[in-house]
Amino acid sequence: MRFMDIVKEYLINSTFHGVKFIADDSYHASERIFWIVCVIISWVGSAFLIDASLEAFQTSAISFVVETSYRDWNTRFPSIVVCEMRNMERIQAIADKLWGEDHDFAMEEVLNEIGYFRGESYHTVNECAGEDMAENCFFDNFTAYADLVRSACAETLEDCYWNDKPFDCCRYFQPMETELGLCYAVNSLQTSAKHPIKLNMISNKHTGPGKLTITVLTEAYVYTIGEEEVPNLITPKSDVLLVDHYIAYKRHISIKDIENDPEAKQVSVSQRKCRFPDENNLNVHRYYSYSACSVQCRKDKQLKICNCTSHLMPNTDPYLKCNMSGLICLNEHYEDLTIVIPKWSVGRRGVVCDCLPSCTEVDIGIVHDSRESIFDSDRRYSTIEIQLSALPTERYKRNVVRGRLDLVGKFK
């Protein structure tokens, strides 16, 4: 049997619409030409429809809606992170212990910069990098000096309350390594603990808006962030309270959560344009978030420019951390390593971070801030009260409108 006979037999017995009329010799030539045109047009049209469906599947698989059935929700209180900002009394005591009471007091400023490193090190470079160096300069192992300077949890926090019920501060505020140094966080995914203990900080129609009250014993930054987020050099100022002694701070916040369709994880990262915390592609933190990704960007840029990283960079091998020459390099390239710029920005100094948002990112707004003076001559402390101003009345919902089964169903 010739090849054309095989093709003709296949077309006659095929279930494709119209093709059997093309191969059937009993039809007039004009009819067969008509069916050839119809089949070609239908196949071309189908190709366009398939291409459009694939394009929609790739680019429009997700939709956002706003839900308002708020009476049925459990709203999780955001993670609260306390990072010591300064403790000159402790620095003075450490300096006395290291170098004696008659030490060069400029070295206290050096210890302060090393312990609470923020990307710049003016005093360190001035005192320990020129020809006329201070007597007690140190040139490496900066992480050990930072650990000496930073206060322990018991020296940072006390008197913690959730909805006016006391709880053990240092049991629930667990250590968290950040690029700002050691912090203490409650209900964060990013703490250093292998089995983190969570405090049941839920607000709903039965409990009412939640309230957290803590006493802070040092000057500190207090961050109000999502459970997967981390404090970092570019955290928006609105998310941070600068806490000083003898002040009672009150902050009222609003929260909008994102609820994800159960099928959202089956959609690729490029389609949904976000990452879930457990879809981590970073090495600085255990879980993915936009802020953790920005820390990774800075680490990579530091390694590229200075061949070392900040001594406070989390989850970094000791041999990669900067010595004095590296610290001088970080200081010289402060703007290049700290300021985040978009990738289309040309000619500006900074770090390009093409980071996706977290799929569970929470929208936290500041409703009202207030502060009052505390008059207590016996000790130095501050109190912080962070409270939901009201139960959320809406939240975002990420729905899958074009899943894999929908795509298969279209072509079935």
Averages of pLDDT over runs of 10 residues in the chain (412 residues) are: 70 73 76 82 80 66 74 86 93 90 87 91 84 82 92 94 95 95 94 87 90 96 95 88 93 92 84 91 94 94 94 94 92 88 77 89 93 85 94 85 59 48
Tokens linked to 69:
């059935």
Q: How many CB atoms lie within 10 A of CB 149?
A: 21
Q: Quote the CA–CA distance of 382 and 159 in Å, as a whole number.
A: 11
Helix (H) / strand (E) containing 338: helix 334-338
For residue 370, the Cα-to-chain-centroid distance in whole angstroms is: 28
Q: Report pLDDT for 124.
A: 87
- Beta-carbon contacts of 307 under 8 Å, excluding residues fewer than 6 positions away, are 326
Q: Are 140 and 324 in contact (CB under 8 A)?
A: yes
Beta strand 351-352 with 340-341 is parallel
Domain ranges in the chain are 3-60, 75-85+153-289+358-397
Q: Quote the CA–CA distance of 59 and 245 in Å, as a whole number.
A: 52
Q: What is the edge-to-edge ordering of all strands in the sheet holding 395-400?
A: 62-67, 395-400, 258-260
Q: Report pLDDT for 407.
A: 57
Q: Report pLDDT for 329.
A: 93
Tokens linked to 290:
């936009």
Closest Cα partner for 54 from 404, 359, 330? Answer: 404
Q: Report pLDDT for 119.
A: 87
- Beta-carbon contacts of 121 under 8 Å, excluding residues fewer than 6 positions away, are 113, 114, 327, 328, 330, 331
Is 0.75 topped by the overall pTM? yes
Distances (CA, A) of 203 to 197, 216, 255: 19, 24, 11
Instruction: Give the domain 75-85+153-289+358-397 fold.
Output: Acid-sensing ion channels like fold (2.60.470)
Q: Report pLDDT for 20.
A: 74
